[in-house]
Structure 1
């Protein structure tokens, strides 16, 4: 799990511009991502038939802004170092609200009025759960987990930190169930292969034994989600479709940039099947990349 200091973009003007309609392009625990084919199929069919298809639910939550290169996707985890007084206050409110807040990125908006400074639109909102808090002499380390995408529909507070009203942004998989089931099994098998290769790579002492792919898949396949409003919980297929888009040990700058683009595209999509297809393609590339690194590693030893 990487340690991130809070990286904010300046926001002299913040526009409530909910996550845009999908562009027309041409899933809190540890364990193994391995799930038997029949078991995953049964769980997928059960979740598909019982999930919320539409909801008027909304939550009033603190909002934590980041730059465009810090997008967080559902199933992903990371650790933040919060130390400013306003963000420590945000943390306290989040802890009082079922350990939830919204992680979102600011998208610069061009304006002809240069005197007013730059404007930013709130995009790519992700509802997150606080998994742990470690108090420090200065600030706190906060481990968070992305749960689902959300629309920010109204700003309720600007100072000392942002607070807003959010509603769920979920996929609609109606009519895709049979094809999705097969694709999910394919993606899961590739993710298991990627995990098995990753653990053979040399890693620094600070790096966790469990890969990020394993961690995200374990979360995505959970049965329960505590006190979180169920209207905000994505279906199993949607959760798994995000789980493969995780950093791989030893990624170069260009490879991380490619992953960033995939994450942004995944956040835009409302079609689970397309996202799973992209996940399969990305995972295959990652498998080839790790396999090549293992060959180089064996030659060096």
Structure 2
């Protein structure tokens, strides 16, 4: 499994511990979407109290995406232990975005954006801290903060796409197209990698396989998106040899995907991205075949 190694040291200048203890979240700055529909069409509001791990705006995590964290600060190791022992291997990855900081302000204001419940898939203990493999499961709204010592915690509610029964046929068709396109792109990426020891599974196909796997998960099912919604997120992965501009573009597409509330619309965004990536990888393969050095 290919994942990105990042540090849990989120920089004292961006998230100083003193600031975290006096965060003021404007009520209208947190995305909505706390209600979901059951099969009986009743509105159900669910919530969980979970540890919260903040990241910068450039590190949004989407459902189905895998990431590896290097946790070594005491507060984040405490968050890890709480998640594993009492929270069924779950916590929330979210973006803590400064929205109004002035010289005269006595307290900083932040918006809690793009929350994603994550599942801890593996933990490797190190001499200093731990490497933690996580998987994005589903989008959440942070309803309120419950504490900040030694780490942030809060009440979260699920966000899921609206279901339009009239678009079921279109949804099924687009899901099939996306799956086929992702597998085609994965085949091209494998050829691009060249080294004999390169893995046969790219981040893209890894996310697709996870999205299709309906293995039982201990967390409340209302926090897990439908199969179609999970699949619609699986395309938002970096491809082999991505440039800085391509990674920046991917980040913007991920933000759009997290904001969309309609699965068909997200599938269309996914297909456009996959088509662009297929063209890009095909061009790189053509250059590679010329053996240009």
Are the aligned partners of 1:51 and 1:235 in contact in 2 as well (CA < 8 Å)? no
Aligned match of 1:141? 131
* Secondary structure at 2:143 match in 1: strand
Larger relative contact order (CA 8 Å, sep ≥ 6): 1
Q: TM-score, normalised by structure 2?
A: 0.88
* Alignment match of 2:44 (pick from 55, 74, 81): 55
* Secondary structure at 1:161 match in 2: coil
For residues 192 and 3 of structure 1, do their structure 2 counterparts lie closer, same or farther at Cα, with a shift above 3 Å needed?
same
* Secondary structure at 1:300 match in 2: coil
Cα shift at 1:300: 1.4
Cα shift at 1:245: 0.7
For residues 272 and 53 of structure 1, do their structure 2 counterparts lie closer, same or farther at Cα, with a shift above 3 Å needed?
farther
* Alignment match of 1:10 (pick from 6, 15, 20): 15
Are the aligned partners of 2:60 and 2:94 in contact in 1 as well (CA < 8 Å)? yes
Aligned match of 1:225? 216
* Alignment match of 1:108 (pick from 74, 80, 98): 98
Residue by residue over 1:32-73, the C-alpha shift from the partner in whole angstroms, topping out at 9 and shown as x without a partner, is xxxxxxxxxxxxxxxx99598743211110000000000000
Provide the rounded CA distance (Å) in 2 between the counterparts of 1:263 and 1:229: 25
Residue by residue over 1:3-38, the C-alpha shift from the partner in whole angstroms, topping out at 9 and shown as x without a partner, is 11125232624334564259xxxxxxxxxxxxxxxx
* Secondary structure at 1:55 match in 2: strand
1:171 aligns with 2:147: no
Provide the rounded CA distance (Å) in 1 between the counterparts of 2:265 and 2:244: 26
- What do you get for the CA RMSD once the two structures are aligned? 2.2
For residues 212 and 187 of structure 1, do their structure 2 counterparts lie closer, same or farther at Cα, with a shift above 3 Å needed?
same
Residue by residue over 1:186-222, the C-alpha shift from the partner in whole angstroms, topping out at 9 and shown as x without a partner, is 1111111101100001267996431001100011001
Q: TM-score, normalised by structure 1?
A: 0.86
* Secondary structure at 1:20 match in 2: coil
1:246 aligns with 2:237: yes
Aligned match of 1:209? 200
* Secondary structure at 1:126 match in 2: strand
1:184 aligns with 2:188: no
For residues 118 and 207 of structure 1, do their structure 2 counterparts lie closer, same or farther at Cα, with a shift above 3 Å needed?
farther
1:77 aligns with 2:32: no
Cα shift at 1:121: 1.3
1:20 aligns with 2:48: no
Aligned match of 1:273? 264
Aligned match of 1:298? 289
For residues 178 and 79 of structure 1, do their structure 2 counterparts lie closer, same or farther at Cα, with a shift above 3 Å needed?
same
Are the aligned partners of 1:14 and 1:121 in contact in 2 as well (CA < 8 Å)? no
* Secondary structure at 1:280 match in 2: helix
Unaligned segments of structure 2, at least 5 residues: none
Cα shift at 1:115: 4.0
Aligned match of 1:68? 57
Provide the rounded CA distance (Å) in 1 between the counterparts of 2:148 and 2:194: 42
For residues 169 and 206 of structure 1, do their structure 2 counterparts lie closer, same or farther at Cα, with a shift above 3 Å needed?
farther
Unaligned segments of structure 1, at least 5 residues: 23-47
